[in-house]
Structure 1
Amino acid sequence: MTRKPPTLRERQRLETRRLIQTQAMRLFLARGYDETTVNDVAEAARVSAMTVYRHFPTKEDLVLSDEYNAIIAERIAARPPHETLVQRIGRTFVEDIGLMVGGGSHERAAEGVRARLVVPGGKELLLARLKLVMATPALRARQWESQYAIQRTIVEALRGDPPDRDLEFQLWVASGACCAALRAALFRWAEENGRPDLTRLLEDALAIAFAGQFP
């Protein structure tokens, strides 16, 4: 199913979210996560604290929250049906990571959704987010919730209506394993300060987890 173009109100909402999140990340990196308050973020973004909470209910959301889960699930559902579940999920992750870091052979293939998938700030913001997560216990704990949210969105998009219980179980397993490979690749990439090719790292992680199915 093709998503309708965003309305003016939706675009304004997205721009406000991006502004708030960008200012939050700037402050977290300059002052430290624990030392920065939501009021500090609101002041930097020139909005009220209530506006910040409307878009990001918790402080952790300022680092980890995004609105791409539904788009990613749609892209997985639209992949060729002859691919296995792990190929559909894993290859979509590889394409989207390529977009997030701003290049690679997958960018042209996914050009139609580029504007909706690129993370504000691209590679630099992604690297900053990962380093904050690795250094902050509260964010590491919250990351598990984010992974669960991604898995649930994928499962709900592919399990059918009425849900096929066996397929649903397979989807939870496949999405969980792909998310684990993605997390391992992201953390390795961040530990090496963003120097390696992230898409290649993810392909390697998927190949380790699913021998014979990747690339």
Structure 2
Amino acid sequence: MSTSLPEHALDRLQDRLERLPLRERKKLKTRRAIQDHALRLFTEQGYDETTVEQIAEAAEISPSTFFRYFRTKEDVVITDEYDPIMAEIFRAQPAGTGVIEALRATFREILPQMLAGDMDTVITRMRLTAQVPALRARTTESLREGTHAVLKEIIAERTGRPQDDLDVETFTWALLGVLQSAMYAWLDGKVEIEDLPDLIDHNLELVATGFPL
């Protein structure tokens, strides 16, 4: 399994971000700056040993400003801007395309963009999430509030079902399991980071065929 990241992936991501309103772009720039300083400090001195006050000082902001951008210290690791982009790509898939195929097309586009634009950040965030118990706990809660909610919304739209449909709920959690299984395959050294788009696509194909083991 080997994937080379498309050279134009970063350009596509940048184009999507540049289409955001000016206010949103400014907020995103500040949020990324805070996150960059936080991840650097976590790497240098450890997650538990780093305080919000230290992150704020490094980013040249006040602690109160930190909490305007991130609800908790854990959120500075697990928060990113990709869910709205994922939803935009999914909704742009041709009418009549099934959910799995639309998801495969979405992840084939967005994952190379993420890796091309934020490879080091993605790696650091994934490792911290796997290693720090507080982050693993907050990730589960955040997934339900963020990525799970976005996926459930767009899947319900495409299938014409209500968002509280139990089958939609179950399918969405299964999909998150597919994504997490790929993450742990990388953490366990079974695949390279560049292989994740192919692995996730394979896992989604496995779901589509009913897991014929």
TM-score of the two chains, using structure 1 as the length reference: 0.78
Does residue 132 of the first structure (1) align with residue 118 of the second (2)?
A: no
Equivalent runs, 1:66-81 vs 2, <5 Å = 66-81=80-95
* 1:26-65 map, 5 Å: 26-65=40-79
State which of 133, 138, 141 in structure 2 corresponds to 1:142.
138
Pick from 10, 14, 18: which aligns with 2:32? 18
Q: Which one has more relative contact order, counting CA pairs under 8 Å at least 6 apart?
A: 2
Percent same amino acid at aligned positions?
34
Q: Give the drift of 1:158.
A: 4.8
Q: Specify the alignment match of 2:6 in structure 1.
A: none
> Which residue does the alignment assign to 1:106?
none
- Measured against aligned partners, the alpha-carbon deviations of 1:65-102 in whole angstroms (never above 9, x if no partner) come to 12322221222122123322122224312321111111
Structure 1 residue aligned with 2:198: 200
CA contact (8 A) 1:64 1:143 kept: yes
Selected match of 1:94 from 92, 108, 112:
108
Amino acid at match of 1:18: R
Q: Which residue pairs with 2:3 in the alignment?
A: none
Structure 1 residues 63 and 28: CA distance shift in structure 2, 3 A: same
Q: CA deviation at 1:18?
A: 0.5
Report what 2:184 is aligned to. Answer: 187
**Does structure 1 conserve the Cα–Cα contact (< 8 Å) formed by 2:38 and 2:55?**
yes
- State the Cα RMSD in Å: 2.7
Compared CA separation, residues 77 and 8, structure 1 to 2 (3 A): closer
| C-alpha deviation, 1:4, in angstroms | 9.4
Alignment partner, residue 156 of structure 2: 159
TM-score by length of 2: 0.79
SS in 2 for 1:101: helix
Contact 2:89/2:106 (<8 A) preserved:
yes
- Write the letter of the residue equivalent to 1:200: D
Aligned length: 192
- The farther-off stretch of 139-148 and 151-160 is 151-160
Letter in 2 for 1:208: L
Q: Is the 8 A contact 1:189 1:195 kept in 2?
A: yes
Pick closer, same or farther for the CA change 1:212–1:52 going to 2, 3 Å: same
Deviations 1:79-126 (A, max 9, x none): 123322122224312321111111xxxxxxxxxxxxxxx4xxx11111
Change (3 A) 1:43 1:3: closer
Q: Gapped runs of 5+ residues in structure 2?
A: 1-15
Change in Cα spacing, 1:16 to 1:4, as seen in structure 2 (3 Å) is: closer
